[in-house]
Structure 1
Amino acid sequence: MSVSDLIEPIGAADGAVTLPTADTWMQGRTLYGGASALIAYTHAIRKFTDLPPFRAGQVGFVAPVGDEFELRSEIVRQGRNVAQLRSEIVSDGKVALTAFWLFGTSRDANAVHPAASVEPSPGKPEDSTAVEPGGGPAFLRNNYDVNYPHERTAKDEPIIRRWVRLKEPSGIDPVSELILMGDTLPPSAARIMQRPGPISSINWSFNLLDPAPVTRDGWWLAETASDHADQGYSSERLKLWNADGKQMLSGIQAVAIFG
């Protein structure tokens, strides 16, 4: 089921929404985080259409999001160059997701510092090898092609890096696609867990490095990497590069580790 089908029921008005195709995007009892963030973002840009280019997002995954909920968005502040919006997904009368969106006009650069190239080289996605079928959550199997990069990290190293793309063309704008794709991989702390147990994303804060992201043949290189894990939590870095190795998204996430 395409992404455009998932978000088709979302209109410009606040209020109740039912998603007929939510089952293909579920991760356990909740919508996959990237899908629920996309839903909140879609409502914001459909309600407020005269916005500068998107720059950054802060998303709190508060409670499970199912196929029926309420959406609401508001402008917190709109200045000459920057607009800041807040969106919420409300389930059973309680906030299930809260998001803060930042939009800003482009200005003449007064500082230029390109993001570092990905190392080691992941190779080209068209030359990569598909991950063995059958693993991972249902939303990943249903909707994504997932391939190994040319150089694979060690199994006990808390870094996961994969080439990912949607099985079907998304039918949505490139920024929305990156919001959907940026939280695709599992937290890398799963690689260093000492005993089995569930993992749950708590939040996700990210910056879009190019307001008009592009790639080739739908492929993005996604990475999750734990900076620190202890006391039941992991601080994870999330990055996305395009097929030519240019970084498009940089983020950080707090993850709860159970068991």
Structure 2
Amino acid sequence: MNLSNILQSARSDETATIPVGWSQGRATFGGLVAAMLYQRIETALQLATGGPVADTPLRSLTISFVAPAEAGALHTSARVLRAGRSAVQIEAHASQPQENGEQVVTAALASFGKPRASSIAVSNDAFPGLPAPDACQPLPYIEGVVPEFTQHFDYRIGVGALPFSGHHEGRIGGWVRFRESSGPVTIAHLLALIDAWPPAVLPMLKTVAPASSLTWTVELMPAAMAVANASCDDWWQYLAEVEQAEDGYAVIQAKLWNSRGELMALTRQTVTVFA
């Protein structure tokens, strides 16, 4: 099942299904779970504001991956903490049934805010020039080494090196797009795209080892408000860099641009590295 179909189901049902084929080690790909949970958040936003989601765009989303999510039923819920004239704060949880009861697997806090007039404008540099996607190295799928979910994405490495290559630099980036999904892109699609790349610390390792996100914060830029004009067939530019790593944890910051070099999102993750 492709991402667009999964998201449509997650929007219409409080209990949706994580299909097989999206695993990342012993857990489901975190970007997919976050995207499914965001569908419930948007529904709560519409009820709170009584207007289109585009009128109060997402500014920041903080995710905590509490426990591994598995293929199967995923229950999502959202609660509006406050809905003011300009800003709305929403808390959300995704949970799955366990032997001892319902277990929260992912928690989120979303902040939405209407645009307002301001004399301050600080621009961000466009992505440093990348070769065309066809001129970049594809990220190969190697069963047992590369996570299963990556088969749903098309990657072209333009910066850094392949995971587990013992590279001296904690940096990875290039182009990414969906392999199967079609139609317009939504914010939920963007969340999956941003989280699809291997953690930037993996190219520094010399042997295969797992890594998983512990916390994840995404800041959406004004250009993301027009994301519906993009197609799932489009290429996106991505760059991630390790800011600090020790004690089995790494802090990684990243940026996502569209194919025209417009900044769409800033993100930061704390990643658990099992090596």
Contact 1:183/1:238, CA 8 A, preserved across alignment: no
How many equivalent pairs are there?
A: 252
Contact 2:244/2:252, CA 8 A, preserved across alignment: yes
- CA change 1:13–1:79 in 2 (3 A) is farther
For residues 18-50 of structure 1, the C-alpha deviation after alignment (integer angstroms, 9 at most, x for no partner) is: 41x621222123221110000110011124423
Contact 2:160/2:171, CA 8 A, preserved across alignment: yes
Higher helix share: 2
Among 14, 28, 31, the residue aligned to 2:28 = 31
For residues 104-145 of structure 1, the C-alpha deviation after alignment (integer angstroms, 9 at most, x for no partner) is: 1111232111112223x213335544334436211112x111
Among 239, 248, 251, the residue aligned to 1:235 = 251
Is 1:246 the counterpart of 2:262? The answer is: yes
Where does 1:1-16 land on structure 2 (aligned, <5 Å)? 1-11=1-11, 14=14
Find the counterpart in structure 2 of residue 95 from structure 1: 104
Is 1:82 the counterpart of 2:87? The answer is: yes
Among 139, 153, 156, the residue aligned to 2:149 = 139
**Cα distance in structure 1, aligned partners of 2:13 and 2:139:** 41
Is 1:202 the counterpart of 2:214? The answer is: yes
Q: CA deviation at 1:153?
A: 2.5
Find the counterpart in structure 2 of residue 153 from structure 1: 160
Q: CA deviation at 1:157?
A: 0.8
Find the counterpart in structure 2 of residue 165 from structure 1: 177
For residues 174-200 of structure 1, the C-alpha deviation after alignment (integer angstroms, 9 at most, x for no partner) is: 322111111111111112236653211
**Cα distance in structure 2, aligned partners of 1:123 and 1:194:** 27
SS in structure 2 of the partner of residue 205 of structure 1? strand
Among 52, 55, 58, the residue aligned to 1:54 = 58
- CA change 1:28–1:159 in 2 (3 A) is same
Is 1:191 the counterpart of 2:203? The answer is: yes
- CA change 1:109–1:127 in 2 (3 A) is farther
Is 1:118 the counterpart of 2:132? The answer is: no
- CA change 1:228–1:99 in 2 (3 A) is same
**Cα distance in structure 2, aligned partners of 1:175 and 1:73:** 17
SS in structure 2 of the partner of residue 163 of structure 1? strand
SS in structure 1 of the partner of residue 226 of structure 2? coil
Gaps of 5+ in 2: 162-166
**Cα distance in structure 1, aligned partners of 2:138 and 2:210:** 25
**Cα distance in structure 1, aligned partners of 2:135 and 2:260:** 13
**Cα distance in structure 2, aligned partners of 1:47 and 1:13:** 13
TM-score normalised according to structure 1 size: 0.88
- Sequence identity percentage: 25
Find the counterpart in structure 1 of residue 164 from structure 2: none
- CA change 1:170–1:43 in 2 (3 A) is farther
TM-score normalised according to structure 2 size: 0.83
Is 1:65 the counterpart of 2:69? The answer is: yes
Find the counterpart in structure 2 of residue 130 from structure 1: 138
Among 106, 109, 117, the residue aligned to 2:115 = 106
Among 182, 186, 194, the residue aligned to 1:182 = 194
Contact 1:13/1:47, CA 8 A, preserved across alignment: no
Gaps of 5+ in 1: none
Contact 1:22/1:31, CA 8 A, preserved across alignment: no
**Cα distance in structure 1, aligned partners of 2:207 and 2:28:** 26
